[in-house]
């Protein structure tokens, strides 16, 4: 798999360690982040990751900053990107299963490296469930294209969501 990874100075350590881990698994890692330990604009690095993923030059993306929020939001502004914060293991899995997320975000100041590595592995090895989730992915795409969306009949008061499905 070809993976774009971007970071500001607050994500250098995890980026470097994660790159080594991913390459040891046979992935190709494209560095879209800074390697300099001075202030860098996280939107620049998030956008780079987003554009590589949206253009299919990379299969997935990883973004890291202090909280993970700003760089994740930046990547998500690129049309075709579905980025999310993996704040626990279940979310790392469900963002793929339910949302077909193609970019995962982390906050180096709020997660251990071990958590980030584990959640990256989950994200990269989990597939999209398809089915009625495709309707929601289309709705997200319609929002990107400034098209109106409406509640669909797939969900009603009798549908039950079970945590973790």
Closest CA to 59 of 119, 123, 1: 1
Answer whether 85's CB lies under 8 Å from 46's CB.
no
Q: Among the options 98, 133, 134, 161, which is catalytic?
A: 98
98 classed as catalytic: yes
Closest CA to 122 of 135, 108, 106: 106
Which tokens go with 95? 């963002």
Q: Among the options 65, 72, 133, 161, which is catalytic?
A: 65
DSSP state of 96: H
> Which residues form the catalytic set?
65, 98
């Amino acid at each position: 798999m070809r993976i774009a990874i971007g970071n500001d100075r607050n994500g250098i350590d995890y980026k470097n360690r994660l790159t080594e881990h991913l390459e040891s698994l046979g992935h190709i890692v494209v560095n879209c982040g800074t390697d300099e330990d001075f202030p860098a604009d996280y939107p620049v690095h998030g956008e780079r990751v987003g554009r590589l993923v949206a253009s299919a030059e990379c299969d997935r993306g990883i973004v890291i900053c202090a909280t993970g929020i700003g760089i994740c939001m930046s990547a998500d502004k690129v049309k075709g990107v579905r980025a999310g914060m993996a704040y626990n293991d279940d979310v790392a899995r469900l963002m793929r299963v339910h949302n077909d997320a193609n970019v995962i975000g982390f906050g180096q100041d709020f997660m251990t490296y071990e958590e980030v590595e584990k959640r990256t592995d989950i994200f990269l090895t989990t597939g999209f469930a398809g089915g009625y989730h495709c309707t929601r992915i289309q709705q997200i795409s319609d929002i990107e294209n400034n098209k109106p969306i409406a509640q669909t009949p797939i969900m009603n008061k009798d549908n039950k969501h079970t945590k973790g499905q």
